[in-house]
């Protein structure tokens, strides 16, 4: 059984097929290419190489290349016109409202982006906390200090908490801490990861009941 759920936000609370996640990846490649003075293709190669090491492109650019313009990075990477990609999701709202456990968001996005996304989805008022990338001084997932600080804030032990995320490299360290995990894998690209998974967020209640992680009152 679990007593708490931590939701990733991008490509988890809304589908990757919305196009917003890929748009942000393209923007991140463009920023990296401009900052390092390399081609977009080379920027993408470097990001893929160092993401497993540093967790985020931001932290890699800060630690290895002296990036100081954090706010410019965040502003250029995260689109403002998110209504072009996502909108209100009444089914998602009902699902979260019906969960008989505490819920928070844990995202590597900046607070402004989190506010836009959650408001556009119509679920901004449903969470105990929105843990954004600034919460742990820009050391987000998969840093252990991020997870332990979040667990302390929600007053839970790792084994009481389920983390739902679309990035295996963020889930595995949480599992290693003793937490429970669920991979959001809309396209099936991580089918060989060996991690428990669902294809879209509205499958969550059935997963929780099937695996006896939550008891819903009917």
- What ranges do the domains of the chain cover? 4-15+88-210, 20-77
Q: pTM of this prediction?
A: 0.91
CATH node for 4-15+88-210: 3.40.50.1000
Q: Please write the tens of the pLDDT for every residue from 117-144.
A: 999 999 999 999 999 999 999 999 999 9
| Cα(49)–Cα(201) distance, integer angstroms | 29
Residue 218 pLDDT: 45
138 φψ region: left (φ > 0), alpha (ψ -120 to 50), beta (else): left
Q: What is the CA radius of gyration of the chain?
A: 17
């Amino acid at each position: 059984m679990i007593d708490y759920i931590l939701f990733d936000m991008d490509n988890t609370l809304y589908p990757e097929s919305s196009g917003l996640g890929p748009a942000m990846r393209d923007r991140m490649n463009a920023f990296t290419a401009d900052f390092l003075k390399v081609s977009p293709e080379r920027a993408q190669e470097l990001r893929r190489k160092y993401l497993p090491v540093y967790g985020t492109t931001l932290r890699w650019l800060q630690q290895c290349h002296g990036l100081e313009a954090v706010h410019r990075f965040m502003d250029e990477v995260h689109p403002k016109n998110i209504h072009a990609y996502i909108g209100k999701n009444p089914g998602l709202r009902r699902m979260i409202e019906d969960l008989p456990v505490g819920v928070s968001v844990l995202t590597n996005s900046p607070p402004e982006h989190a506010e836009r996304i959650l408001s556009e989805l119509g679920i901004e008022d449903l969470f105990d906390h929105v843990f954004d990338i600034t919460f742990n001084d820009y050391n987000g997932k998969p840093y252990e200090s991020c997870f332990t600080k979040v667990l302390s804030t929600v007053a839970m032990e790792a084994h009481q908490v389920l983390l739902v995320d679309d990035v295996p490299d963020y889930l595995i360290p949480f599992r290693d801490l003793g937490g429970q995990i669920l991979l959001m894998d809309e396209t099936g690209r991580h089918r060989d990861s060996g991690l428990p998974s669902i294809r879209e967020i509205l499958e969550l209640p059935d997963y929780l009941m099937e695996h006896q992680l939550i008891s819903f009152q009917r």
